[in-house]
Amino acid sequence: MPAMTEALLKVSLNHYLVLSAILFTLGMLGVLLRKNVIVILMSIELMLNAVNITFIAFSRYSGNIDGQVMVFFVMTIAAAEAAVGLALAVLIFKRFKEVNIRYFEHLRG
Amino acid sequence: MGSTGHHHHESAPVNLTKSNLMFVALSALLLGGIGYSLRGATAVDGLFATLLLAPLFGFLFNGLRFRSPNAMLSGTVATLAAFVSFVCSVLLVVKMSGAGGAPLSAQFFDWMVVGDLSVSAGFLVDKISAIMILVITGVGTLIHLFSVGYMSHDERPSKYFAYLNLFLFNMLLLVLGDNLLVMFVGWEGVGLCSYLLIGFWFSDSEKAAAGMKAFITNRIGDAGFLLGIFTLFFLFGTVNFSEINMRAVQFGIESGWAGPMTLACLFLFIGATGKSAQIPLYVWLPDAMAGPTPVSALIHAATMVTAGVYMIVRLNPLFLAAPNVLHVVAVVGGVTAVMAASIGLTQWDIKKVLAYSTVSQLGYMFLAAGVGAFGAAMFHLMTHAFFKALMFLGSGSVIHAMNGEQDIRKMGALQKKLPITYGTFFLGWLAIIGMPPFAGFFSKDEILWLSFHSPLGHWSLWLLGLIGAVMTAFYMTRLMALTFWGKSRVPAGVNPHESPLSMTIPLMVLGLLSVIGGWIGIPHVIGHALHVPNVLEHWLEGAIHGIPGLQPGSAATEIALMGISVSLAGISAIAAFTCYVRRPELPGHLAARVRGLYDLVSNKYFVDEFYFGKLINPLVEGSRNLWAYVDVNFIDRGTYLVSDMVRGVGSVARTVQNGNLQQYALYIALGVAATLFLVMR
């Protein structure tokens, strides 16, 4: 599969970065525009993983393993964040029978 | 107090143990403080520390148990504290004169160092402050002792003794401080204690008002004093006495009116007129008699009111460099001496007579300082402290015996009922009217002679002094006659009795001092014949600058002037005796003959009315109008406007923070985008 290998070799750092930027923007739009808490959490995951792609790409590009180590940390934080976020979503659902982000306004004193 | 009195008796044993504990704790604190200040220090530092801290300790002890009605314990502690200070003073003075008279000093710590201003908590005993601390602690101890008896029936003796000890502490700060700022702390402190003690019986609104009058009048003087300090610091860059005096001598004599040293001295003198009750700020002192009588003796006769004189003597090289101010001092002193004495002629309250007498005698001290005779001022300060404290305490003994009556028209013939009080008061009387060889003769005579003879003096100043002396002899004899001699006018139901020993012992000691106190300053014209030296003059040599350009005077003139003043005072006293004992109807006829003048004088020249009518009330009215128009209409409006603007802006800004999480997230996103844009540009 020389064509395949050739194509893969043509994928440069910029491609990864553009992909990452697109994913990050999509995630951000999701966070800003969607009302469903679960979807927002998923969008946040998308943003985090877009960052992860950047890390991996730079790590590979510069031959430095540090970026890949950082990705593990980001994934750990993402897991913790998802756990907390889902717990909040469950509570919101119990209270209002819906998981709309607007309900968090009720936290206002 | 009536309802809580019961409670006190119940809890008395508890109080005692509590106060014992407190005593131990305070003693530890005091010893610790002394120990701390003495790390590797000399015995002199220790004496200074003990001298100053003993009254402070007494204040804390009595102040912390101020509810206690135990006059015996409070009084004992307070008197002991004063006595410890006295012993330290004596030791310090002995040490100083033993070391050839060089000043002793102690620097405890740097108080403040700000830019050019460097002030240390430094204290100094030289020959001037030596006289002061001996008088303050010596007479102070006697008056504390007297107070134990006098205040034994009072409801709040602990508070009283706490104030008295605090006063002593501040007074010692005032006279021992080696710079103007430490002196100012004491100066304000004694003013505070004076206020607290004048208004000690504050439930009587008149007495409370007297306290406030004293406080506010003193504030006016203090403002002048502060301006004086500022001017001196601006001029010399220091507030230290010895440096100021040194620089003043270097500056030379300032002959104009607008010079900086003249200005500074004038400001300081305004401070002195407030504290030492001179024209125009003397009005508070007669009212200050509302306080307990021992307070009048200690604060308003013997010590605090002499602070102004002391300050001028302390800065004598500075004042000598501003001769115009000295003329002002002399004239104000002389006029005050005569005016206050004339008011004293017409007063009926035993303490008011003594109060005006004090104002008058302070006038003599300023007269002396004003003609450059600073030694004579200190001499009269000392003898006056003895005989006036004696007379105030004597009047206290009389008032105590008369169940609080102070009107001399309701007294008379008390000499048999109060033999010791009478005997000692008699000595004080002879001293104040200037009969030789009693204390007042020597000091007053020296002032009269030097006000005539000094190049800074003038015969008119001598005449003022002479008129004052004649009036003094008259009103004092009148006081003696109406109180102790003649027929008894004591109302039925009052049985005067001699006071207890704790009150008569101070009287006897002060009586003795009123006799012999003047012998340390016997003038040369007399001393030469008797072969006794003028101890005081030798003592003060070096500490006080001599009068510039003083020629040796003619002995004949001095003796003649002395003869004139003594004989006129004697004649005046005999006239008063005739008026009030032999022919009691005579004064009334005389007063009726000059009704207008008499009314003017007996109403104190309407000075209070003038101050209220022309100064205080317009000022209060003006302030009220300023508040009602300017403050409400402009200043308040302005501040409301500002606050409304802030509130308006805030309510706009508040819409940003509305609780919508996604909007917050948008802010973050926009912020990141803006930052990126700025960084990447």
CB nearest A101 (choices: B661, B666, B669): B661
Please state the pTM of the whole predicted model.
0.79
Q: Where are the domains of chain B?
A: 1-178, 606-680
Residue B169's nearest CA partner among B52, B297, B312, B79 is: B52
Q: Using an 8 Å CB-CB cutoff, list chain A residues near B665.
A: 31-32
A with B: how many residue pairs have Cβ under 8 Å apart?
Answer: 19
Comparing B362 with B524, the larger pLDDT belongs to B362
> Cβ–Cβ contacts within 10 Å for residue B3, how many?
6
Cβ within 8 Å, pair A105-B669: no
User: Which of A32, A33, A105 is opposite residue B659, by nearest beta carbon?
Assistant: A105
Please name the residue ranges forming H helices in B459-534.
459-484, 501-516, 524-530
Q: Do A107 and B662 touch (CB under 8 A)?
A: no
Distance separating alpha carbons of residues B180 and B229, to the nearest angstrom: 7
* pLDDT grade for B670, boundaries at 50, 70 and 90: very high
pLDDT, mean of residues B101-129: 88
Interface residues of chain A, partner chain B, Cβ below 8 Å: 28, 31-33, 101-102, 104-105, 107-108
Answer for the pair B381, B363: CB distance below 8 angstroms, yes or no: no
**Chain A positions in Cβ-Cβ contact with residue B671 (cut-off 8 Å):** none
pLDDT of residue B199: 92
Find chain B residues with C-beta within 8 A of A101's C-beta: 661-662
CA distance B625 to chain A (A): 47
Site from A25, A26, A29, A31 to mutate, B interface, most B CB atoms within 10 angstroms? A31
Q: Which of B661, B666, B680 to mutate to test the interface with A (most CBs of A within 10 A)?
A: B661
In this prediction, residues B198-207 reach a mean pLDDT of 92
**Taking a C-beta distance cutoff of 8 angstroms, is the pair B20, B73 a contact?**
no
A102 contacts on B by Cβ (under 8 Å): 660
Give the minimum alpha-carbon distance from B25 to chain A in angstroms, rounded to a whole number. Answer: 52
Is A32's CB within 8 Å of B661's CB?
Answer: no
Contact A105 B660 (CB under 8 A): yes
* B209-232 mean pLDDT: 94
**CA dist B613 → B189, B606, B623, B627 (Å):** 31, 10, 15, 21
Largest CA distance in chain A: 64
> What is the number of other CB atoms lying within 10 angstroms of the CB of residue B349?
15
Q: Which residues of B touch A104 (CB under 8 A)?
A: 659, 661
Predicted local distance difference test score (pLDDT) of residue B13? 44
> Which residues in B lie closer than 8 A to residue A108 (C-beta atoms)?
659
Q: Which of B662, B663, B672, B676 to mutate to test the interface with A (most CBs of A within 10 A)?
A: B662
Mark yes or no for CB contact B665/A105 under 8 Å: no
Cβ of A31 and B659 within 8 Å? no
- Number of residues in chain A: 109
Higher-confidence residue: B321 or B495? B321
pLDDT 10s digits, A37-77: 999 999 999 999 999 999 999 999 999 999 999 999 999 99
B640 to chain A nearest CA, in Å?
Answer: 29
Q: DSSP assignment, residue B583?
A: -
Q: Which of B658, B659, B665 sits opposite A31 (nearest CB)?
A: B665
Average pLDDT rounded to a whole number, residues B103-108: 88
- Shortest Cα distance, chain A CAs vs residue B664, angstroms: 9
Contact between B661 and A108 using a beta-carbon 8 Å cutoff:
no
For residues B408 and B479, is the Cβ–Cβ distance under 8 A?
yes
Q: What does the pLDDT read at residue A49?
A: 95
pLDDT tens sequence across B579-609? 888 888 888 888 888 888 888 888 888 888 8
Residue-wise pLDDT for A85-98, tens only, equals 999 999 989 988 98
Strand partners of residue B191: none
pLDDT of amino acid B3: 40
pLDDT for residue B36 is more than 70: no
Q: What are phi and psi of B122, to 5 degrees?
A: -105, 145
Summarize pLDDT for B516-575 with one digit per residue, the tens.
Answer: 988 888 887 777 777 777 888 888 877 888 788 888 878 888 889 999 999 999 999 999
pLDDT, average across residues B418-442: 92
Residue B35's pLDDT band, with cuts at 50, 70 and 90, is low
Point out the residue among B658, B659, B665 whose CB comes nearest to the CB of A32. B665
| Per-residue pLDDT band at B7 (split at 50, 70, 90) | very low
Mean pLDDT, residues B654-680: 89
User: Residue B456 in 3-state DSSP?
Assistant: coil
Distance CA B433, CA B450 (A): 18
Percentage of chain B beyond pLDDT 70 is 94
CB contact under 8 A, A32 and B666: yes
Rounded to whole angstroms, how far apart are CA atoms B20 and B23? 5
* Structure confidence at residue A1 (pLDDT): 64
- Given a cut of 50, whether residue B9 has pLDDT beyond it is no
Q: Which residues of B touch A (CB under 8 A)?
A: 658-662, 665-666, 669
Conformation bin of residue B549: beta by default, left when phi > 0, alpha when psi is -120 to 50: left
Tens digit of pLDDT for each residue in B89-100? 999 999 888 888
Structural domains in chain A plus CATH codes: 12-107 (1.10.287.3510)
Residue B2: pLDDT band (50, 70, 90) is: very low
Nearest of B391, B390, B355, B200 to residue B277 by alpha carbon: B355
B661 chain-A contacts, CB cut-off 8 A = 101, 104-105
Confidence of residue B38 (pLDDT cuts 50, 70, 90): low
Chain A environment of B666 (Cβ under 8 Å): 32
